[in-house]
Every structure is written in C-alpha cells, then in structure tokens.
Structure 1
Amino acid sequence: MRVATGRQAYRLSAYLRLMRPHQWTKNAVVLAGVVFSGQANEPAQLLRACLAAIAFCLVSSAVYVFNDWHDRDEDRLHPTKCSRPIAAREVDSASALLLGGALLVVSIVVALLISPTLAGMILVYAILMSAYTLWLRSVAVIDVLTIASGFVLRAIGGTVAVTAPISMWLFVCTLLLALMLGLGKRRHELRILHGETSHHRPSLAGYARIDLDRVMLGVGLLTLGAYALYSVAVPTYGRSLPMIATLPFVVLAIVRYLYLVFQRNLGGSPEVLLIRDRPLLLSIAVWSVTVALVLAS
C-alpha cells in the first residue's frame, strides 16, 4: 500500500515538474495591465486579471510539455536537460501529450470566461511558441525575438482582460526587458556548452559570432531609457508622488541582473535567479511597493 502510494506521489511529482510551475513567475507581467491602469483596487477587474494570468500559466505549461516531448532525444544528451521528466523516462510520450492537450483546452476555457479576444490571444501564444519549438528557435535573433513576443502577448493579454487601453510604454518596456533576458539565456548556454552548439541549439552558432555582452548591455540601457521616459511622460493626475520615484529601483534591478550574468554567468534561468538572489528580489520587491504607493498617492 505504502509502495503504491509512493509510486503515485513520484509520478505526480514528475507530471508537476513537466509543467514547470517555477516558470509561472514569468506570467506576472499579465498583471501589469490592471496595475498600471489603476484598476488593481477594483475586485472585479483584479479577478479578471488573475484569471488571465492563470490562463497564461496553463498554456505556457502546455507549451513546455510539447517542447519537452519534441526535444526528448536531444535533451538526453544535454548536461542539465537530461533530467527533464520525459528525457529521463519518468513520463511516457503519450501521457505527456495528453497532459499538454488538456492544459491547452483548460487555458482556453478559462480565457473564454473573460473574453473571446483573450482566448484568441491564448491560442496565438500557443501557436507562436509551438512554432518556436519546431523552427523559430533555430534562427539566431529570431529566437529571442519570438520569446520576447511571448512576453508582449502576455502583457497585452492582461490589458485586454481588464479592457484597458494598450500602452505603448508597456509594449516597449516589456519587449526590451524580455530581449535582455533572452540574450542572457543564450550567453549562458554558449558558455556551458563550450562551443558544442550545433548538437544542442543551432541558433547558438549564430550568437557565437556576436559580441553578446555588448548587445546585452545595449538592450539593458535601452530598457532603462524606455522606463525612464515612461516614468517622466506618465500623467501624474495630481499625485503627490511621481512615477519617476520608482526609477532607482529599476536601475538597481537591471544593474544587478547584468552583474550576475557577466560576472557569475547566472543568466540561464532568470525565473530562478529572481527567487534565489536576494538583492535582485529586494530591488523588485521595493519597486513593486513604490509603484503601489505612487498609484495610490
């Protein structure tokens, strides 16, 4: 009895790891729309935004399942990806595809509770990320642009969920930040694979000919510049505390991230880095509190 229970728990754990719940932190960007539109204090709108975030969590897990199924043979040769549930044969292919399909259907159903437009965006996200797995990730630059587009879809989806105007600043800042994170991942992969790029990710051969450090630094500066312009341009509407008060914490967070990437080569998993690096986590937490104070002032 206990042996059977232990096996069931292990199997459930494998399915959960296959869904990559630690990646769900990326979907926090879905909540940007309700926060920066000033509707976070409205329970109905906050609920809609949270449901949108849940829908994106589910569809992103569906995409991860498809990705791991598609890459199972290559992952078995990778130094770290070999431990993924399908590659490690902890979950069979048929069960994985069934799980992925179920997650996709549920995500669309949740999105339909909010609006057909959001459901359409969920479907577009799934198609785009599936295309990334099948082809787009093999092309240098196009791969990180696709990842960045996924973040932009999340941000716009959150805005659509609360029927707020789509902000140009939200679009630009999300795109640039996602590009910086994507380039950090590619830089990390180049270094851990020690030049054996063609066996694991074909696009890395293209990045090997690019000075990624300079490109990342440039994108980081553009991100800071875009946020600085937003913080100055956003209307104050009589607020006692201006949005520019949040800028120092954005500077701290981005500088800290670039330091971790350049000096410690820790850009491979930004979502894990966010949780484990206390200075980075503190910078983002203080920024979040400051944004809340600005919007409430």
Structure 2
Amino acid sequence: MTEAAPLTNSAPSKSTALLEQRTPPRRTPPPREGSLLGGLVRTARPKQWVKNILVIAAPAAAGQLFTAHALTRLALVFALFTACAAAVYLINDARDAEADRAHPTKRHRPVAAGRVPVSLAYTVGGVLAALALAGAVWLTPPLVPALLAAYLGMQLAYCVSLKHVLVVDLVLVATGFLMRAMVGGLALGIPLSRWFLITTGFGALFMVAAKRYSEAVQMAGEAGATRALLTEYTTGYLRFVWQLAAGVAVLGYCLWALEEGGTHSSVLPWRQLSVVAFILAVLRYAVFADRGTAGEPEEVVLGDRALALIGLVWLAMYGLAVTPW
C-alpha cells in the first residue's frame, strides 16, 4: 500500500490573497519634466525677491519715484539685484550641500537632495553674477556696478566664513538690506541723506536682530539650532541689539522729520505727523519681537492687520510730506 503524497500549497491562502489585494505593488513615479529648471528656480529663492523692492526706497524718500525714467531704471536695477541675490543663493547651497544633507529641513533643498547637481549650481550662480555685473556696467551709472560688486563680495564672504563670526553676521545681513535701499538712489543720481542711511540701516538691524532673537527663543532647549551662532548668542544680548537698533532708527527718523526747512509746503506738517505713525509701527513690530515670533519681516507685516494699517497710514503721510503739490 503506497503512502499518500503530502499536500502542497499550490493555491494561496485566503489571508495571503486578501493581503495582496490590500497592498498593491509600488510603482516608481516617473520623473517630472522640467524638474531641473524648477530646482534651479527654487534654489534661487523666489520668495526672497520681494526684499529687492527696497530699491525704490531712496527715490520714494526723495519724492522722485513716479516718472517714466525712474520707473524704467528702477525695474532694471531690481532685475540686476535679483540676479545677484539668486547667484549668492545658488553658490551658497552648492557649497553647503554636504552639510544640508544632514539637516532635517535643509536636506530637501534641490541641491542637497540631488535634484540640481552641485557643479550646475556653481555654474549658474557664476553666470548670473557675471551677467548682472556686465549689465550694470553697460546700462547704469558707475556707482551701481560698484555697489553690486561689493554686495556680491560681501555675501560670498558671509557664506564662506563670516556667517560664523559673532556680531559681524548681524551687521552684514543688515548691510545687505541697506545696499538694496541705496542702489535705487545711486541709479537715479539722488543724493542719499544721512538721516535716510541712519534710519534705514538701523531699521534693518532692528528686524535682523529681532528675527535672530525669535529663532533663539523658539530653539531654546532643542538640539541642533538652525544657525550655529544661535548657540553662542544669548537671548538677552539679541534683545539688547534689537532694542538699541529700534531706538536709533526712531531717533534718526525724528531728526529727519523735525529738521528745519521742509521739502514742500503744505497745509499740515505731514513730516512731523508721520513720526507718530513711524513710532507706532516700530512699537507694534516690537510686540512680535518680544514674543519671539518676529520671523520673516514681510510675514510679520502682512500677517498683522493693525501693523499693515499703520504702515499704510505712514506711507500716506510720508508721501504727502515729500510729494510736491
């Protein structure tokens, strides 16, 4: 009598079949078209380009903004400064690619993620910088390419080493904002008032220090600060810096507004009245700085209705003070 052959699992069990139905096979998504170009654009930080609107600051302060020549020249300067800033971002991300790959957030940047080759980021950044300088030499007064070259040199030095130097990092970032505000005046041959430089420079330092203070407060007690220097700055020191900078900015603006001999005669003393709106704006912004929630300046201004309204009132008063009637 022969033994019965053992049963074999020729058909899958019900549980196995059910599992296969619930977990469909993974499919590798096809590569997105234009991902390289999109990665380059993302690396150039389009959201940061709004800062370059500061190129209109000096012409607006002088009441020489709304002319065809001024608007055309300022559009050109905006494009040149944006190209320089984009070049710095591309070179910075290429240089920091290895370090960014170990960071929980920065590892998603296109260069760190491998979406944009490091060599290509360097090349595009260098080409943008060269084209911006060449265009400035060809199309603008000599002081404009000189300022753009100084900006590029300063920002590249910042990326390489100066961002690790206490206090110097704050000053260089604030100086970048000041250069944006100066370049429009240089492009149109407008003399830059000492009060304009003082108010703009220390106003920029106020916002930069407030942002660093907010980052330090939010990262307190957490390992791996977003910026290495945040572990060396104390919140007390950063608070002192933004308070000092705010005070000097307000003082500079008050001296401008109370200076004898207004630019234009009008029914009301709009120059002097604009001091109230300016101080209220600084005080309102300081609320967010004190709470440690003063991140990106544009997000703070646009995210708070009261601050945005105060800013509009100040713009209206300032416009009335410098516009001839």
- Flag whether TM exceeds 0.5 (same fold): yes
Matched with 2:199 is 173
1:244 aligns with 2:272: yes
C-alpha deviation, 1:145, in angstroms: 0.6
Matched with 2:238 is 212
Matched with 1:145 is 171
Gaps of 5+ in 1: none
Matched with 1:21 is 46
* 3-state DSSP of counterpart to 1:268: coil
Matched with 2:152 is 126
C-alpha deviation, 1:195, in angstroms: 5.3
C-alpha deviation, 1:280, in angstroms: 2.9
What does 1:56-71 align with in structure 2 at a 5 Å threshold? 56-71=81-96
What is the aligned counterpart of 2:311 among 272, 277, 284?
284
* 3-state DSSP of counterpart to 1:211: helix
CA offset digits 1:2-48 (Å, max 9, x no partner): x98x8234443322221112112222222112112222132212322
CA offset digits 1:232-254 (Å, max 9, x no partner): 12742442143222223322322
Gaps of 5+ in 2: 1-28
Matched with 1:97 is 122
Bigger drift between 279-288 and 57-66 goes to 279-288
CA offset digits 1:127-162 (Å, max 9, x no partner): 001001111111111111111222222222221101
What is the aligned counterpart of 1:259 among 277, 283, 287?
287
What is the aligned counterpart of 2:61 among 25, 31, 36?
36
TM-score, normalized by length of structure 1? 0.88
Change (3 A) 1:58 1:284: farther
Change (3 A) 1:121 1:191: same
Q: 1:31, 1:50 within 8 Å by CA — same for their partners in 2?
A: no
Change (3 A) 1:102 1:278: farther
Q: Matched residues, percent identical?
A: 30
* 3-state DSSP of counterpart to 1:108: helix
Bigger drift between 190-199 and 94-103 goes to 190-199
C-alpha deviation, 1:183, in angstroms: 0.9
In the alignment, residue 171 of structure 1 is paired with which amino acid?
L
1:73 aligns with 2:98: yes
CA distance in 2, matches of 1:10, 1:63: 21
Change (3 A) 1:237 1:124: closer
Higher helix share: 1
* 3-state DSSP of counterpart to 2:215: helix
What is the aligned counterpart of 2:320 among 290, 293, 296?
293
How many residue pairs were aligned?
A: 293
CA distance in 2, matches of 1:44, 1:161: 11
C-alpha deviation, 1:106, in angstroms: 2.7
Give the greater-gyration-radius structure (CA): 2
Q: 2:62, 2:322 within 8 Å by CA — same for their partners in 1?
A: no
What is the aligned counterpart of 1:182 among 208, 221, 232?
208
C-alpha deviation, 1:176, in angstroms: 0.4
* 3-state DSSP of counterpart to 1:87: coil
C-alpha deviation, 1:256, in angstroms: 2.2
Matched with 2:5 is none
